[in-house]
Amino acid sequence: MSIVCTQDACNAAQQMAGRAFLEAEGSTPVLPLQGCDVARCQCRYAHSDDRRTASDDNDRRLPASLQSELYPASENIDRRQRRRGRRRSDLT
């Protein structure tokens, strides 16, 4: 999301023009901007398209089954397989 302003926008809006804000972070400033000196603010928000593509979502993480198969192959001990209690004698 970004702020779109007209030619007669205040200095605060002109400085913010072109900056992208993430809605999820809550960093989008409230309009009219603090310090706006225009009698009737014409600034508005412009929604930006999502920069992620479908292929990005698929490549983000390994499938859980593949990750489980690769872990023992890396010579690491799979500690989930060991069943032990919480007593002092179980820990030794």
pLDDT value at 78 more than 60: yes
pLDDT band at 45 (very low <50, low <70, confident <90, very high): confident
49-63 tens-digit pLDDT: 776 666 655 556 656
**13 closest CA partner among 29, 1, 26, 24:** 29
Residue type, 16: M
pLDDT band at 44 (very low <50, low <70, confident <90, very high): confident
- Read off the pTM: 0.47
Please report, in angstroms and rounded to a whole number, the separation of the first and last CA atoms in the chain: 57
